[in-house]
Structure 1
């Protein structure tokens, strides 16, 4: 019973923080506001997260742990498939993961635009692993001739931009692609947009079938 109460209190704090950080920003949100929204004592935030900064660190780290698990899941599930099949599966997994956690995704992507010690640590750990996984797939495909030889770094930057934009600038996606990122259909339709782009760019014309 105590463990259930512990988990419930912690989850209330997390969800309240995500909501307030998105509405008021990290600096504009007080510990008291989080506690009030969660219906808990301020001391609980110190106990579980060692304050507001610790709470933010938890949210960013937890987001990227799940993000990389989604990437790993795509790669491990399709080891017998072609690099382009694994890459498209990976992209679908990332989109699904982000869409299920839209508020958290938006908060994290806004925070990583800031130059802080935490963000530099994230850039040197989680994001380097993301780059490694993507580059490995691309290098494998280019090595066996199933993918066109393109600048890997440029492709990763383009792909990353396309994966983050719906959550940072949903109004732009709505204006250009007529898709609403908050709707349930979004992942499937936006994935098809990305899949078409990746296949046209990466796949040799004579092998344009997965």
Structure 2
């Protein structure tokens, strides 16, 4: 139990520092000091900083996709628009609950690196499939010209990541657990208004 607690402390410290200083700007010593553990603990648990990054991001996406899949399973008998609305809520709620790691990951995804390519092949392709298929189901029967559905999907995906790419614009307004919950409700409601307009086309 103690080992698991120390491990979580290291992950939490690393998430904060990666968010604040970037991956390359953060040293193993920085992480150890913030987590109040020995430097050797980082190597013991994760085999260094790169291993820690991979572990944290893998755990993030596995939990995220598990929640997405659970949401889609629970809503399988609901209407396509209800499913989509609940999926959007699930996605924003999860990203907001792990704000610093989400912002760091979104920032890293703008770079072309081996890390990004690995994420794309494994997790992002799966995420894209779930969002795309749920969104297109909600648009079924709507007569839209050409590739407009693809452009609308692009807009939706943009709305799902914008708060975590432009985090500096929100940092003074979303402080503490309560304001995060308020943000989730209000932001999801805004996306849902957009969806209502789109589906009503």
Q: Which SS does the other structure have where 1:133 is aligned?
A: helix
Aligned counterparts, 1:6-85, within 5 A: 6-85=3-82
TM-score by length of structure 2 reads: 0.88
CA separation of 1:196 and 1:18: change in aligned 2, threshold 3 A: same
- How far apart are the structure 2 equivalents of 1:27 and 1:170? 20
Length, aligned pairs only: 195
Instruction: Name 2:97's counterpart in structure 1.
Output: 100
Give the drift of 1:10.
Answer: 0.2
Query: What's the C-alpha RMSD, in Å, of the aligned pairs?
Result: 2.0
String of CA shifts for 1:32-70, please: whole Å, max 9, x gaps. Answer: 111111111111111211110111111222221122122
**Aligned position for 1:198:** 195
Contact 2:106–2:165, Cα closer than 8 Å, also in 1: yes
C-alpha displacement at 1:181, in angstroms? 4.0
Question: Structure 1: 5+ residue runs without aligned partners?
Answer: 205-210
Q: Which stretch has the larger CA shift, 10-19 or 70-79?
A: 70-79
Cα gap change, 1:99 to 1:54, in 2 (>3 Å): same
Report the Cα distance in structure 2 between the residues aligned to 1:83 and 1:98, rounded to whole angstroms: 23
Q: TM-score, normalised by structure 1?
A: 0.85
The question of whether the paired residues in 2 share the 8 Å contact of 1:99 and 1:187 is answered with: yes
Shift of 1:142: 4.2
Deviation at 1:11, TM superposition (A): 0.6
